[in-house]
Amino acid sequence: MAAVILQAKGLAKAYGGLKAVDGVDFALNAGEIHALIGPNGAGKTTFVSLLSGRIAPDAGQITLAGQDVTALPAHLRVRKGIAYTFQITSIYPRLSVFDNVALAAQSQGARDLAGAVGVALGRVGMQGLAGQEAGTLSYGHQRLLELAMGLALKPKVLILDEPTQGLAAGEIDDFGALVRSLVPHTTVLMIEHNMEVVMDLAHRITVLNFGRVLAQGTPAEIRANPAVQAAYLGTDDAAA
Ligand SMILES: Nc1ncnc2c1ncn2[C@@H]1O[C@H](COP(=O)(O)OP(=O)(O)O)[C@@H](O)[C@H]1O
Ligand SMILES: [Mg+2]
């Protein structure tokens, strides 16, 4: 059995009367690509925000490699190896691509800053854009820059919230190859709407619905699960 790197027990977060995350038990295995799917409003972003420390839970516990991190603020979780693209790496539009990644690498304590930036930009295929002002990049390249910034943090666990949103088809292929190249050194948890990407990349899938885990399993198990089909995949299964 694979070692669990990140675990949630009884995680809960309500907004007023709305239980956005309603008692979720979850285990991320070291080295896997794990997809988090579910309808809009299912609680996916809230759940990964709890894991990253961006918001605090009402109840439950989060452990990283067995260590309780529930009370740690997000920046300290980053130091322990949990990087969350949306939170950590919102880009600085007036700075160059290079400087954006350098800030992330610096926060991680990189000694050879230029080298670390070069490696991170190389992984997302953006070395040629290092001098460009980040705010002038295409949307797809801004997303890839966020990813490079996340990688520069040298995370153990990389959490991505809808990373392929707005990417062109060719960029999605490159993204898939990149994610595959990260594991098993890095563990990836990604919220993803593109079912083709999910079924292609994920080793395991967790389905959230109304803040609860509806199902968990391999892509084949999730596809065959009647409850998932009813609640989510429906008739317009994009993976078909
Ligand atoms: N800051 C917030 N304040 C109030 N309600 C929120 C907040 N964030 C999320 N919600 C609500 O919680 C539910 C889950 O949202 P979210 O986690 O963003 O779902 P998903 O990412 O699966 O689409 C939704 O009903 C959403 O409207
Ligand atoms: Mg969301």
Expressed as residue numbers, the domain containing 142 is: 90-152
Give me the residue label for tokens 């600085």: 92
In total, how many domains does the chain have?
A: 2
Do residues 128 and 180 share a domain?
Answer: no
Q: Give the pLDDT band (50/70/90) at residue 12.
A: very high
pLDDT at residue 37 above 60?
yes
| 3 contacts 172 by C-beta, under 8 angstroms | no
Cα distance from N-terminal residue to C-terminal residue, the chain: 31
The angle, 0 to 180 degrees and rounded to 10, between the axes of the packed helices 97-107 and 113-123 is 110
Cα of 131 from ligand 2 centre, angstroms: 32
- The pLDDT assigned to 239 comes to 42
**Long-range Cβ pairs for the range 229-232 (8 Å, 24+):** 231/39, 231/207, 232/37, 232/38, 232/39, 232/207
Q: Are residues 130 and 113 in the same domain?
A: yes
Residue 192 has pLDDT above 70, yes or no: yes
Q: Which atom of ligand 1 is nearest to the CA of 191?
A: 21
Q: What is the mean pLDDT of the chain?
A: 91
At 94-110, the pLDDT tens digits run 999 999 999 999 988 88
68-84: average pLDDT: 93
Same domain, 172 and 215: yes
Residues with CB under 6 A from ligand 1: 15, 18, 20, 38, 40-46
Q: Measured from the CA of 16, which atom of ligand 1 is nearest?
A: 4
Q: Give the mutation target among 18, 52, 191 for probing the ligand 1 site: most ligand atoms within 8 A of CB.
A: 18
Residue 20: pLDDT over 80: yes
**Same domain as 103, residue 43:** no
Could you identify the atom of ligand 1 that is nearest to the CA of residue 55?
1
Residue 195: pLDDT band (50, 70, 90) is: very high
Dihedral pair phi/psi, residue 38, rounded to 5°: 150, 160
Q: Where does residue 127 rank: exposed (0-12), middle (13-18), buried (19+ CB within 10 A)?
A: middle
- The answer to whether residues 164 and 59 belong to one domain is yes
